[in-house]
Amino acid sequence: MNPNIALSYEFFPPRTEAGRLKLADTRRVLARQRPNFFSVTFGAGGSTRDNTLETVLDIQQSGEAPAAPHLTCVGASNDEILELLGKYREAGIRNLVVLRGDPPSGLVGMGECKHAADLVRLVREHHGDHFHIAVAAYPECHPDASSLLADVDYFVDKMKAGADLALTQYFFNADAYFHFLDRCRERGVDQPIHPGIMPIANFANLRRFSKQCGAEIPRWIRKTMNAWQDDLESQREFGIEVVSHLCEQLIDGGAPGLHFYTMNQSGLTLQVLRNLGLARD
Ligand SMILES: Cc1cc2nc3c(=O)[nH]c(=O)nc-3n(C[C@H](O)[C@H](O)[C@H](O)COP(=O)(O)OP(=O)(O)OC[C@H]3O[C@@H](n4cnc5c(N)ncnc54)[C@H](O)[C@@H]3O)c2cc1C
């Protein structure tokens, strides 16, 4: 197993004091894994945007890992985006995860940048090479896309607009990642594409979340998990086994990094890293 594989961890900004304490603990544990960055979602799942800035500044000041704020363009003017970018730059931030975002229900305007590629261009136009830019990729196809190949073509445009790295939506089928990678390489994308890894904590939550974001849960996983409706311990153990095996396949097949959707918990992620022999403690 490649011990130099790049590892990054995604958090959502906590909204309560208990949430803040829990995230502080998670960060402390995962900081020992020498992360490439800790990323913080922006406006996802209804989280407020001010909380993102606060969490990002807290991470950056802690020195635990470089902070990578997620930045979305949906419903925002370019002036608002540039003001926020100025604050990040002032705070010494060098990493961004640049996204379109999903319009909350009831939102009227889409924002000046219509797609993530426009936002990548805006950041590059105003800040040159200051920021290392990661963007999103969808090996199983973005839910709005008319076809996988159309989605790949738009993804390629986004990489060519100036992205340095891509982080994928989570998936449980390694072939989808390798197939996507081949299509991108054929079109001249040579930047790294790190699989997004979702450790399975609670299957009911995962099922709900996967429906929203278009991630497919294979039948054999559903059927196994469904048999343990109230047995969270069995779900957890099986989830760790499934996700560890997936990561092993991805790394063996050449994935250069893993991006963990931690849901602000360290336990499952750490167990997966240990199973892979990648835990750095
Ligand atoms: C790693 C990761 C982190 C995320 N973090 C957040 C977050 O913090 N906050 C949040 O709100 N959401 C987040 N999301 C979700 C993301 O915002 C949604 O999936 C959103 O619907 C698409 O964002 P995108 O950046 O991929 O958009 P885009 O790259 O703009 O693509 C969106 C859709 O538009 C299509 N498209 C692209 N360009 C064009 C074009 N020129 N013409 C026509 N169609 C086009 C694409 O095929 C795709 O179907 C995250 C997703 C990932 C994978």
**CB contact at 8 A, 33 and 281:** yes
Strand 67-72 relative to strand 257-261: parallel, antiparallel, unpaired?
unpaired
> Is 109 a residue whose pLDDT tops 90?
no
Ligand 1 close to Cβ of residue 113 (< 6 A): no
Distance CA 223, CA 76 (A): 42
Determine what percent of the chain is predicted with pLDDT higher than 70. Answer: 96
Q: Is 194 in the pocket of ligand 1 (CB under 6 A)?
A: no
Residues 181-206: tens digit of each pLDDT: 999 999 999 999 999 999 998 899 99
Helix (H, G, I), strand (E, B) or coil at 173: coil
Give domain status of residue 158, yes or no: yes
pLDDT (tens digit per residue) in 150-159: 999 999 999 9
Domain assignment of residue 124, yes or no? yes
The total of structural domains in the chain comes to 1
Per-residue pLDDT band at 264 (split at 50, 70, 90):
very high
Residue 281 resides in a domain: no
pLDDT digit string (tens) for 224-243? 999 998 899 999 999 999 99
The rounded Å distance from CA 116 to ligand 1 centre is: 6
- pLDDT tens for each residue of 43-89: 866 666 789 999 999 999 999 999 999 999 999 999 999 999 999 99
Q: Whose CA is nearest to atom 16 of ligand 1?
A: 101
- The model carries a pTM of 0.97
Residues 56 and 60: their CA atoms lie apart, in Å, by: 6
Q: Whose CA is closest to atom 14 on ligand 1?
A: 101
Establish if 142 belongs to a structural domain: yes
- Structural domain includes residue 85: yes
Give the mutation target among 95, 113, 142 for probing the ligand 1 site: most ligand atoms within 8 A of CB: 142
1 inside domain: no
Please give the number of the atom of ligand 1 that sits closest to the Cα of 52: 8
Answer whether residue 222 is part of any domain: yes
Average model confidence (pLDDT) across the chain: 94
Please list the residues that pair with 257 across neighbouring strands. 6
**Average pLDDT rounded to a whole number, residues 134-143:** 98
User: Is the pLDDT score of 108 beyond 60?
Assistant: no
Q: What percent of the chain has pLDDT over 90?
A: 89
Domain that holds residue 262: 6-276
Q: Which residues contact 37 (CB under 8 A, 6 or more apart)?
A: 8, 65, 66, 67, 68, 95
| CATH for 233 | 3.20.20.220
Least confident of 181-185, 210-214, 248-252: 210-214
Strand partners, 26: none
What average pLDDT score do residues 164-176 get? Answer: 98
Q: Which residue has the higher pLDDT, 280 or 250?
A: 250
Note whether residue 153 is domain-resident. Answer: yes
Average pLDDT over residues 262-267: 97
**What pLDDT is attached to residue 111?**
84
> Catalytic site residues?
10
